[in-house]
Amino acid sequence: MPLATTEQYGRMLDAAATGRYALPSVNVTSSETLNAAIRGFAEAGADGIVQVTVGGASFLGAGDALTGARALAQLAPVVADRAPVLVALHTDHCPPDHVADFLEPLIADSEERVARGEPPLFGSHMFDGSTLPLEDNLRIARGLLERCTAAGMLLEVECGVVGGEEDGIRGPTGPREELYTTPADLLRVADVLGTGEYGRYLVAATFGNVHGVHAPGTVQLRPEILKAGQEALGQRSPSARFAYVFHGSSGSTEAELAEAISSGVVKVNLDSDAQYAFTNAIAGHVFDNWRGVLKLDGVGDKQAFDPRSWGRAAEAAMAARVHEACEQFGCAGRSLAAQI
């Protein structure tokens, strides 16, 4: 099917919230990882989101992030058109210093497309103002929300700071308390960004989550923080509810995922685990075929070092991990495509 329209994207998120499941949002950096993500959604019968960071887009665009993002936005609809599920397109983790040279030009592209009667280039964008004081973060986010809404897109914001490192953005190395959003912080998000009257947005609230993969016991998740935020918002506006995003989900237990999703998480980012599945398959291929790959006899085995050989293995492995995530997040077999 074609990429999800604005209306379909909203329906995907609404269905996730109502059905108490989450959509996987898979980071991609190439045509192969894009194929793998969409293949995983299709095999699971699940709708999903494909996303790219500034660094991922730079890799995809031979060093130019804006070119890479635009290229992905041209390729994704072609690949997604063959899938029997809905796929939305998103940009992930744009820090303040790349708003002017990455995020705003992409929003401008969508504004121009919408003015011509075409769909926006992306379905949503993330502004990651977590390195700024909350008021500065929300001030910039409010302006971006208005532009995204007018162009038929959603905005994702981050309230609090996710630990670890993602695409060059490093979380706090000080007290662990910095990794936990407070209900007061979340209410301030609602004060500035509204509860729908200024446009639709997603909130990456932090509850101890950390980017990357870490040893057992290192990450101390407190999903109850998400529930507390919902309760605080409900006391102020009974019909309002935050649409949460779970960053740093790699290594989380089934119970932790389930509790976070039950508290309003509708989007779970999948990056490190997908990367590992992709690269581990390549390593396995090289280990199994090392003589031919390294050309120890001076000739080698073209079937072994042809990028298509290890590429197919990597794509299949990443697709399997995406499928597994769909099962874990509860969205497998629940695509809305048949209803469109």
Catalytic residues: 92
Q: Are 162 and 248 in contact (CB under 8 A)?
A: yes
Question: What's the longest Cα–Cα distance across the chain?
Answer: 73
Question: How, if at all, do strands 23-27 and 165-166 pair?
Answer: unpaired
User: Which candidate, 245, 235, 160, places its Cα nearest to that of 200?
Assistant: 245
